[in-house]
Amino acid sequence: MISHYLHSLVIQVGLFEGAERGTAEALGIASGIFALLLFSLSMYAWSRRRQPALAIVSIAFLLFFFRHIVQVLAEMYEFDSAVALTLVFMDFIILALFFVAIVIRPRRKQPAGDTSSP
């Protein structure tokens, strides 16, 4: 009797893990698509304002999208270990770009008659 309950519990946990894996893959793909959407929005904002920080953020979003594409392909074709270092390096670059975009100073518009540098 107890072994029957344990066996059914093991089967249910196995089914849950399969469903969890599918959900994780779907969320990974959704986050990649969301990164592509944020890239396009930040590029549009950059084209309107021409702020360097927006260009840097858009590059970071594009790299995030490419990172997810590489990760999904690596999981599909089972070469995770071959790209592990590349994914970590891409994470580092993405974080560094976001840091630079936050720290960079926006340019101030000078009055028309003012020729002195800030």
Residue 33 lies in a domain: yes
Residue span of the structural domain in which 59 resides: 21-103
Question: Would residue 118 count as lying in a domain?
Answer: no
Residue 108 backbone class (left: φ over 0; alpha: ψ -120 to 50; beta: rest)? beta
In a domain, 9, yes or no: no
Place of tokens 């089967």: 11
Q: Which residues of the chain have pLDDT under 50?
A: 6, 9-10, 13
In a domain, 13, yes or no: no
User: What is the reported pTM?
Assistant: 0.72
Question: What local confidence, expressed as pLDDT, does residue 2 receive?
Answer: 57
Q: What pLDDT score was predicted for residue 27?
A: 85
